[in-house]
Homo-oligomer: A and B are copies of this chain.
Amino acid sequence: MSSTPTPRTRVVREPQRAVYDRDAVNQILDEAFVCHVGFVADGQPYVIPTSYGRDGDVLYIHGSAASRMLRHLDKGVPVCITVTLVDGLVLARSVFNHSMNYRSVVILGTATLVDDPAEKLAALRAISEHILPHRWDDSRLPNEKELKATSVLRLPINEFSAKVRVGPPVDDEEDYSFPTWAGVIPLEMNSGTPIPDDRCEQELPAYLQNYARKKKS
């Protein structure tokens, strides 16, 4: 499904890299798990990193990221949530044509507090399952006091765009004779060996082995 960009989400720079397709956007959102939330307080922009979850066309973040934001939250707060995956350094022959391979999503909208306890619990589960599938059911679930101490914000994924760059460098024709190495250095986030804490007595469960974000195709 494709979405029509608004003047606010239409990609201005390098428009050939723009993606307005919801499925492609969801793929990026599902591979990443940290977003950067932008909001305004007293005319000053703030950008805070936090984790998130997705449930259909809604993005959820929880309040640990949002304290400064929540103080300014009345009936919702205009936000920009940006998600970025860096896939590689693109080394051209000219400095000017150096680039990166990346996939990023920008979502604009109004974030609102989730009041309904059932939606709140479902949202927290969505965030948990987004970061680490199966973990929710293998943890001690939130109690009422903990739920009260946690704020959850919802942002409908309605106004969005993505930017994607893939592939080798593109040099000006006259630069191809310049004697330097040119190509891509791929970058990927990998997990290391899990480190149990001092009081952990359990074997490492299957769902924690070879943690990876990329969907194996």
Does A54 sit within 8 A of B, measured CB to CB? Answer: no
Residue of A178, A180, A184 contacting most chain B CB atoms (<10 Å) = A180
A residues sitting closer than 8 Å to B (CB atoms) are: 8, 12-14, 34, 36-40, 43-49, 51, 64-65, 67-68, 78-82, 84, 86, 89, 91-96, 98, 100, 102, 104, 106, 108, 124, 128, 131-132, 135-136, 138-143, 146, 149-150, 168-169, 175-176, 178-200, 202-205, 208, 211
| Cross-chain contact A95 with B186 (CB below 8 angstroms) | no
Chain A binding surface SS class: mixed
Task: List 12 A-B residue pairs with CB atoms under 8 Å apart, sorted by A's residue number.
Answer: A40-B40, A45-B45, A46-B80, A48-B82, A89-B211, A95-B128, A98-B128, A138-B180, A169-B197, A181-B208, A183-B200, A185-B194
**Complex Cα spacing A12 to B64, Å:** 10
| Cross-chain contact B189 with A187 (CB below 8 angstroms) | yes
| Cross-chain contact A95 with B140 (CB below 8 angstroms) | yes
Which of B91, B176, B184 touches A135 (beta carbons < 8 Å)?
B91
Q: Which B residues are CB-close (under 8 A) to A100?
A: 34, 51
| Cross-chain contact B82 with A142 (CB below 8 angstroms) | no
**Complex Cα spacing A169 to B200, Å:** 11
